[in-house]
Amino acid sequence: MATIILNKKIPFTIIPKSPYNFDANFYKPSHFPSSDNVWEKGKYWITMIWQEHKLGLKIENKGTIEKPKIKVIVYSENTLSETFIAKLIPELRWRFNLDQDISAFCEKYKEDKILGKFVKKWKGMKPIAANSLYETLIIYIVLQNATVRRSVQMLENLFEMLGYKIKFDNKTLSVFWKPEKMNSVSEQELRDLKVGYRAKFFKNFSEQFANKEIDEFSLRKKSKEEVRKEMLKLYGIGPASVEYLLFEDFYFLDSLQTIPPWEQKILSRLLFDKELVSTEKLMKFFERFKGFEKLAFHYVWEDLFWRRKNEHIEWLEEEIRL
């Protein structure tokens, strides 16, 4: 696959709502790595396919948590019009969750005996989608019933067959494909990429996206229960995936209905120092953060994975099967 070089660039500055924690938002250490994005402290690169254009985004932190400011450079192959950029900006504001106000949460729990230390450490951290809904669904499917290594392998195999490589700002990254493209290949061709039974899930929802039966933009305006209902209709999306979607992709901060087995094991150790605590008890633990149950979960969860970058946590390593 030939690498497409992106030479044209358009820079601009955008201001997120305060508090906004650049590094904790653009980089989620609990996520598995994907070649469509890369993070360094204060910097982030991601690819995007938007209105037929393959874009490279370089995003830099130029502010602070209290006074956030972000510099964006959009790289492209062809010159982009002003109207294109004008329409792109609101999408970036959504994808990187620049407008959601979480100051009430940070204020309320900064002295909390459980959450206080996490809020102090990660003030301004919130969910960000970064990818489109379609791309996120692909990621959630490769996550299912697989170890990290295999999830990475499946996604990279898919990139190789269906995606593109672009080079900008000295980074070579993958770009996702459009649903139409995945819909046009056979189930067997997908299976050859070692995605197993997931092939039929991919085919199924790629077709729905290609036929415009799913509209991400109207979903964003719907209530949590409506989104849940719509997403559960998708073949291959069940309770665990929907739980993640509601928070990470639709930004419902209170969405905590189920705790999947892997999360259950890790939270049991982390919060209760026990092998296995019932999901009911774990859910009850988060009840005190009314309206912010999942955001509270996120602070505790990501903090653990940030810690993992610097210290060796034996029991955690055993749960993260590579």
227 lines the binding site for DNA (CB under 7 A): no
183 lines the binding site for DNA (CB under 7 A): no
Residue 204 C-alpha from the chain's centroid: 22
The window from 37-45, 58-66, 169-177, 254-262 that contacts DNA (CB under 7 A) reads: 254-262
Nearer to DNA (CB atom), residue 210 or residue 320: 320
81 lines the binding site for DNA (CB under 7 A): no
191 lines the binding site for DNA (CB under 7 A): yes
Phi and psi at 236, nearest 5°, equal 105, -10
- Among the listed residues 18, 35, 100, 153, the single contact to DNA using CB under 7 A: 153
Closest residue by Cα to residue 133 from 203, 26, 234? 234
Q: In the 8-state DSSP scheme, what is residue 177? A: P
Q: Is 295 exposed, middle or buried (0-12, 13-18, 19+ CB in 10 A)?
A: buried
The window from 206-214, 219-227, 238-246, 289-297 that contacts DNA (CB under 7 A) reads: 238-246
- CA distances to 15, 67, 220, 244, 265 from 124, rounded to whole Å, are 14, 11, 22, 20, 27
- Among the listed residues 219, 283, 316, 320, the single contact to DNA using CB under 7 A: 320
What is the closest distance, in whole angstroms, from the C-beta atom of residue 279 to DNA in the complex? Answer: 12
- Among the listed residues 12, 197, 272, 315, the single contact to DNA using CB under 7 A: 197
Q: Put the strands of the sheet holding 43-50 in their side by side order.
A: 8-14, 70-76, 53-61, 43-50, 37-40
What is the closest distance, in whole angstroms, from the C-beta atom of residue 137 to DNA in the complex? Answer: 11
Contacts of 212 (CB under 8 A, 6+ apart): none
The window from 98-106, 114-122, 176-184, 233-241 that contacts DNA (CB under 7 A) reads: 233-241
Nearer to DNA (CB atom), residue 120 or residue 149: 149
What is the closest distance, in whole angstroms, from the C-beta atom of residue 78 to DNA in the complex? Answer: 36
158 lines the binding site for DNA (CB under 7 A): no
Residue 22 C-alpha from the chain's centroid: 14
- Among the listed residues 150, 203, 228, 294, the single contact to DNA using CB under 7 A: 150
Helix, strand or coil, per DSSP, at residue 111: coil
What is the closest distance, in whole angstroms, from the C-beta atom of residue 265 to DNA in the complex? Answer: 8
Q: Is 15 exposed, middle or buried (0-12, 13-18, 19+ CB in 10 A)?
A: middle
What is the closest distance, in whole angstroms, from the C-beta atom of residue 142 to DNA in the complex? Answer: 10
Tokens (6 digits) for 37: 């994005």
The window from 35-43, 178-186, 217-225, 229-237 that contacts DNA (CB under 7 A) reads: 229-237
DSSP string, 22-88: HHHHH--TTSPP-TTEEEETTEEEEEEEETTEEEEEEEEE-S-SSS--EEEEEEESSPPPHHHHHHH
What is the closest distance, in whole angstroms, from the C-beta atom of residue 227 to DNA in the complex? Answer: 14
148 lines the binding site for DNA (CB under 7 A): yes
Nearer to DNA (CB atom), residue 100 or residue 264: 264
Rounded to whole angstroms, the Cα distance separating 300 from 57 reads 29
234 lines the binding site for DNA (CB under 7 A): yes
- Among the listed residues 3, 7, 81, 145, the single contact to DNA using CB under 7 A: 145
35 lines the binding site for DNA (CB under 7 A): no
- Helix 133-143 and helix 198-210, axial crossing angle in degrees, nearest 10: 170
- Among the listed residues 67, 120, 149, 307, the single contact to DNA using CB under 7 A: 149
Tokens (6 digits) for 158: 């898919």
Helix, strand or coil, per DSSP, at residue 287: helix
- Report the interface residues with DNA, using CB under 7 A: 30-32, 143-150, 153, 191, 194, 196-198, 200, 234-242, 260-262, 319-322
